[in-house]
């Protein structure tokens, strides 16, 4: 048992030790920065882009972030996005990441940033992940910090691990993942702190870190981070036979939720109205790591990485490769370092590897039974937690090696035998597949050779240090070099794109200028791959479609999926005036969708001569029994959207058409207003998507918005001239804003009080 005075003394010693040697830690961070620049050098030099094929970063993240930045600069917090999918909740899409600090900084600096800024965020988070891992490993053990080169190896292994490489094109995913080391460090320090106040402070710090990571906007990664911390709390509670680790977990969790509430609450509130709400256990098991995929932990290029080189007969997923040396050093930690941290990292690596295998083992199906509403697929992403544990174990093992473990020969013999077994298994796979995929023969051979080279180099390096053939400093330098060469050489070109992804945004193109010269509320339909689906989000054009998004509103997904042909009544009702088609490939019947602008070399603009206005006054209404009946009614052959509106609530109308007029007074993302005149009772029909959190007023009096034509909005009007207003006010946004602001103020007060108390108790600080 270590008493509190000893721990306090150890922490004081650590503080002064780190203060006296901070330059060495700064040098380590500079090495991680250099490794990041080397890894992304073609991008840094302006000769290439990331990711290969554009990925989510180009088609989804970039337009979304530009939309957010433009709104912030205009003084608006974008709660609703009117430019995609005929309107959708923006604050309700947690992927928007609009309050994530690094994103927010970019938004406030420049609303018209280029795609290079997105690439910069990707590179920053690689470096941030490595630096955070280095800091975590250095500060895990206050009484005896891990060796700097060992922490550097752990940082390299984590930042260039398989999940980060596979998701270079998924910025919000790697942004959340990069915070894992700091979250774990904070919670671990909370557990080992010497007094209750410090424990609570560290737990709250961990909650702040986890909350900030959640704001980056990837729910699955946030769940994985929370799972890892939760498992550690359970492990320490059982091993220490104390409940306070679970109490600290509660403090961390409450703090994290409070910090992230500004984005978390509206997202949780909105998801039930989206396609994601139909997620089931069968979909949750998709994209698991197969048993053969485990070879990717040893030789990632055997089955290939990236969309170009992958040839396995399963859905491509991340392998979790962390380098061969990392695995050798992990073995050292497991064999020679007898500590609770080592045991936890080893057990967690095994558990999460089994979960990454999905339905190939009973563990993931068991998880689905415990959590029947588990809303994520791709169980292979559990490998992120495996990589974190392996990187930490490698640092522990390398530190132990630096201190010369006893009985060294058995490990060298055992590790050599394991490497030979792995080589035999790789050769067996090679023999089994070489005749099936002869065009991948060279790829498999190179992967085997690379494994052998790095396995021999790692084994010899450990042997040389164990036998004291090389100095400690030389061992540290060589270990960092071997791992850096391994990870950078195998990963740097996986997601490099040599062709610019920007032409799809058509900036300054003739066709784009033609469409923008016709202002109004009409929508466009991009029917060619020459333009990015989410281009309208940047150019502030209204579109009926967008890139695939599982958080698209479910009603609209059904509506747009069943409109039939271009020019059908339901298609025209959306106000789709222009269709963007490819050259010489008409997107529809050109008797009513006719070309009107053909001077652009990439696309042709077509006019839908049957397009209806987005705002209409309809004098007849039919009220049906339920939602399915509404679907049937709008698909009936006799349905005319200008003659009759289909409602599920409200009063029916049957009369002659009258006179009406509509004037647009305001159309902002969150607030719209119209002046509407009618000479008899009618319904104001707006072909914007219905959402229960839109509110309305007619002449200043609150009025319900009715679900019309299955997915649109309608408001009942009496004869006369009226001001019709609608505004988007999700309750989760209001509550989340209040909770997050309150949490920030509370945490700031606690931080100030804690610093003041520490300085009072320790005047030398």
Q: Render pLDDT for 615-660 as a digit per residue (tens, 0 to 9).
A: 999 999 999 999 999 999 999 999 999 999 999 999 999 999 999 9
Q: Examine the pLDDT at 680 and tell me if it is beyond 80.
A: yes
Rounded Cα distance between 605 and 531, Å, is 12
Q: Are residues 619 and 549 in the same domain?
A: no
Residues pairing with 722 in the sheet: 676
Query: Over the range 221-256, which residues count as b (16 or more CB within 10 Å of their CB) and which as e?
Result: bbbbbbbbbebbbebbbeeeeeebbebbbebbbebb
pLDDT band at 135 (very low <50, low <70, confident <90, very high): very high
pLDDT of amino acid 593: 93
pLDDT at 125 over 60: yes
Largest CA distance in the chain: 99
Co-location of 264 and 147 in the same domain: yes
For 212-232, what is the mean pLDDT?
95
Report if residue 51 sits inside a domain.
no
What does the pLDDT look like over 78-110, one tens digit per residue?
A: 999 999 999 999 999 989 999 999 999 999 999
N- to C-terminal Cα distance for the chain? 27
Backbone angles phi, psi at 720, to 5 degrees: 130, -175
- Is residue 302 domain-shared with residue 325, that is, in the same domain? yes
Q: How far apart are CA 435 and CA 432, in angstroms?
A: 7
Domain membership of residue 444 (yes or no) is yes
pLDDT at 53: 86
Establish if 434 belongs to a structural domain.
Answer: yes
Task: Return left, alpha or beta for 407; rule: phi > 0 is left, psi -120 to 50 is alpha, else beta.
Answer: left
Residues 597, 600, 601, 603, CA torsion sign:
negative
Whether residue 7 has pLDDT greater than 50 = no
Residue with tokens 């298994």: 425
Asked whether residue 747 carries a pLDDT value surpassing 70, the answer given is yes
Tens digits of per-residue pLDDT, 238-266? 998 989 999 999 999 999 999 999 999 99
Do 179 and 242 lie in one domain? The reply is yes
Domain's final residue, options 449, 472, 491: 491
The answer to whether the CB of 224 falls within 8 A of the CB of 385 is yes
Give the chain's radius of gyration (CA, Å): 29
pLDDT in tens, 311-355: 988 888 889 999 999 999 999 999 998 899 999 999 999 999 999
Q: What was the pLDDT predicted at 449? A: 96
Q: What is the pLDDT of residues 422-451, one digit of tens each?
A: 999 999 999 999 999 999 999 999 999 999
pLDDT at 118 over 70: yes
Cis peptide before 51 (omega within 30 of 0): yes
Backbone phi and psi for residue 693, each to the nearest 5 degrees, phi listed first: -95, 5
Indicate whether 281 pLDDT > 90: no
- Among 569, 592, 608, residue at a domain's last position: 608
The reported pLDDT for the residue numbered 294 is 94
Residue 4 confidence class, pLDDT cut points 50, 70, 90:
very low
Q: Could you tell me if 660 and 538 lie in one domain?
A: no
The DSSP line for 648-716 is SSS--B------EEEEEEEE-SSEEEEEEEESSSEEEEEEEEP-TTEEEEETTEEEPPEEETTTEEEEE
Question: Are the C-beta atoms of 680 and 719 separated by less than 8 Å?
Answer: yes
What is the rounded distance in angstroms from the CA atom of residue 340 to the CA atom of residue 188? 12
The pLDDT, as a whole number, for residue 5 is: 44
Listed in sequence order, the residues at least 6 apart from 476 whose beta carbon sits closer than 8 Å to its beta carbon are 147, 148, 149, 150, 152, 402
| pLDDT of 14 | 52
Q: Using the predicted structure, report yes or no on whether residue 751 has a pLDDT greater than 60.
A: yes
Residue 274 DSSP symbol: B
Considering Cα of 475, then 476, then 480, then 481, what sign does the dihedral take? negative
- Do 552 and 484 sit in the same domain of this protein? no
CA 455 – CA 416 distance, rounded (Å): 9
Give me the mean pLDDT over the 548-570 stretch.
91
pLDDT at position 507 is: 85
The rounded mean pLDDT for the chain is 91
DSSP string, 115-177: HHHHHHHHHHHHHHHHHHHHHHHHHS-TTSPPPHHHHHHHHHHHHTSHHHHHTTT-HHHHHHH
Same-domain check for residues 465 and 557: no
Q: Which residue has the higher pLDDT, 143 or 503?
A: 503
User: Do 590 and 682 share a domain, yes or no?
Assistant: no
- Write the pLDDT tens digit of every residue in 356-386: 999 899 988 888 877 766 678 889 999 999 9
Residue 49 lies in a domain: no
- Does residue 35 carry a pLDDT above 80? yes
Residue 406: pLDDT band (50, 70, 90) is low
> Do both 665 and 526 map to the same domain?
no
Q: Give the pLDDT band of residue 230 (cuts 50, 70, 90).
A: very high
Domain residues for 539? 520-608
Name the β-bridge partners of 685: 616, 714
Beta bridge partners of 585: 582
Domain boundary pick from 564, 580, 608: 608
Name the domain count of the chain.
3
**Percent of the chain with pLDDT strictly greater than 90:** 77
Residues 271 and 126 in one domain: yes
Task: Name the pLDDT band for 1 (thresholds 50, 70, 90).
Answer: very low
Per-residue pLDDT, 141: 86
pLDDT band for position 453 (cuts 50, 70, 90)? very high
Q: What is the mean pLDDT of residues 165-189?
A: 96
How would residue 764 be classed by pLDDT, with cut points 50, 70 and 90? low
Q: How far is CA 654 from CA 622, 680, 704, 720, in A?
A: 8, 11, 21, 19
Can you give the pLDDT at residue 6?
43
Q: Is the pLDDT of residue 753 over 90?
A: no
Tell me, yes or no, whether 648 and 709 share the same domain. yes
Asked if 252 contacts 207 with a C-beta cutoff of 8 angstroms, the reply is yes
Query: Is the domain of 465 the same as that of 537?
Result: no
Strands 523-526 and 576-582: parallel
Q: How confident is the model at residue 706, as a pLDDT?
A: 97
**pLDDT surpasses 50 at 665:** yes
Is the pLDDT score of 3 beyond 50? no
Residues 6+ apart with CB under 8 A from 728: 79, 80, 89, 669, 670, 671, 691, 693, 694, 695
Specify the 3-state DSSP secondary structure of 44: helix
**Which phi and psi angles does 559 have, rounded to 5°?**
-60, -55
Q: Measuring CA to CA, which residue among 608, 537, 516 is closest to residue 87?
A: 537
Strand partners, 703: 696
> Confidence class of residue 669 from pLDDT cuts 50, 70 and 90?
very high
């Amino acid at each position: 048992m270590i008493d509190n005075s000893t721990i306090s003394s150890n922490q004081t010693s650590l503080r002064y030790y780190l203060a006296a040697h901070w330059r060495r830690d700064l040098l380590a961070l500079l090495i991680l920065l250099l490794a990041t620049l080397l890894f992304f050098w073609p991008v840094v030099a302006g000769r290439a882009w990331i990711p290969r094929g554009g990925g989510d970063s180009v088609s989804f993240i970039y337009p979304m972030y530009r939309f957010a930045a433009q709104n912030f600069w205009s003084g608006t917090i974008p709660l609703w996005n009117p430019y995609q999918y005929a309107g959708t909740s923006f604050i309700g899409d947690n992927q928007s990441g609009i309050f994530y600090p690094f994103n927010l900084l970019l938004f406030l600096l420049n609303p018209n940033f280029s795609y290079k800024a997105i690439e910069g965020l990707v590179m920053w988070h690689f470096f941030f992940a490595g630096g955070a891992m280095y800091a975590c490993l250095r500060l895990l053990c206050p009484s005896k910090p891990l060796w700097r080169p060992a922490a550097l190896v752990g940082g390299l292994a984590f930042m260039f691990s398989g999940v980060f490489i596979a998701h270079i094109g998924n910025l919000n995913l790697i942004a959340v993942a990069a915070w894992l080391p700091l979250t774990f460090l904070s919670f671990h320090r909370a557990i080992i702190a010497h007094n209750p106040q410090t424990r609570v402070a560290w737990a709250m710090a961990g909650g702040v870190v986890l909350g900030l990571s959640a704001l980056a906007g990837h729910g699955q990664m946030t769940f994985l981070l929370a799972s890892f911390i939760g498992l550690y709390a359970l492990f320490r509670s059982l091993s220490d036979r104390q409940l306070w680790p679970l109490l600290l977990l509660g403090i961390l969790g409450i703090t994290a939720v409070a910090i992230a509430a500004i984005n978390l609450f509206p997202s949780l509130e909105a998801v039930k109205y989206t396609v994601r709400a139909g997620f089931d256990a069968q979909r949750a098991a998709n994209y698991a790591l197969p048993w053969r995929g485990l070879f990717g932990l040893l030789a990632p290029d055997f089955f290939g990485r990236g969309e170009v080189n992958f040839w396995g007969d399963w859905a491509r997923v991340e392998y979790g490769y962390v380098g061969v040396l990392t695995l050798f050093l992990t073995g050292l930690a497991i064999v020679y370092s007898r500590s609770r941290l080592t045991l936890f990292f080893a057990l967690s690596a095994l558990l999460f590897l089994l979960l990454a295998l999905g339905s190939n083992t009973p563990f993931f199906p068991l998880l689905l039974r415990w959590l029947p509403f588990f809303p994520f697929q791709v169980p292979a992403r559990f490998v992120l937690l495996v990589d974190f544990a392996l990187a930490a174990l490698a640092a522990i093992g390398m530190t132990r090696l630096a201190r010369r473990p006893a009985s060294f020969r058995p490990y060298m013999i055992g590790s050599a035998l394991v490497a030979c077994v792995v080589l035999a298994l790789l050769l067996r796979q090679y023999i089994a597949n070489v005749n099936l995929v002869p065009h991948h023969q060279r790829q498999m051979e190179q992967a085997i050779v690379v494994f052998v080279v790095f396995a021999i180099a790692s084994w010899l390096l450990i042997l040389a240090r164990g036998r004291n053939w090389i100095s400690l400093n030389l061992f540290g330098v060589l270990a960092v070099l071997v791992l850096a060469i391994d990870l950078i050489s195998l990963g740097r070109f996986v997601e490099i794109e040599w062709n610019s992804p920007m032409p799809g945004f058509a900036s300054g193109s003739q066709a784009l200028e033609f469409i923008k010269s016709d202002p109004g509320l009409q929508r466009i339909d991009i029917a060619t791959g020459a333009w990015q689906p989410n281009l309208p989000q940047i150019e502030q054009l209204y579109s009926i479609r967008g890139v695939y998004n599982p958080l698209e509103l479910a009603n609209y997904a059904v509506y747009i999926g069943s409109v039939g042909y271009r020019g059908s009544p339901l298609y025209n009702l959306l106000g789709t005036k222009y269709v963007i088609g490819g050259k010489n490939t008409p997107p529809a019947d050109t008797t009513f969708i006719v070309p009107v602008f053909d001077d652009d070399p990439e696309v042709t603009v077509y006019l839908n001569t049957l397009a209806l206005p987005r705002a209409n006054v309809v004098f007849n209404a039919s009220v049906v029994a339920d939602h399915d009946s509404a679907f049937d009614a709008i698909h009936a052959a006799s349905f005319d959207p200008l003659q009759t509106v289909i409602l599920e609530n409200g009063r029916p109308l049957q009369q002659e058409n009258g006179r009406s007029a509509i004037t647009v007074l305001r159309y902002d993302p969150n607030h719209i207003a119209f002046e509407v005149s009618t000479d008899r009772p009618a319904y104001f029909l707006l072909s914007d998507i219905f959402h229960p959190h839109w509110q309305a007023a007619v002449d200043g009096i609150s009025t319900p918005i009715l679900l019309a034509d299955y997915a649109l909005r309608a408001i009942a009007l009496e004869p006369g001239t009226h001001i019709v207003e609608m505004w988007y006010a999700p309750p989760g946004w209001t509550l989340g804003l209040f909770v997050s602001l309150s949490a920030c103020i509370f945490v700031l007060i606690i931080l100030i009080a804690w610093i003041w108390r520490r300085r009072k108790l320790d005047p030398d600080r």
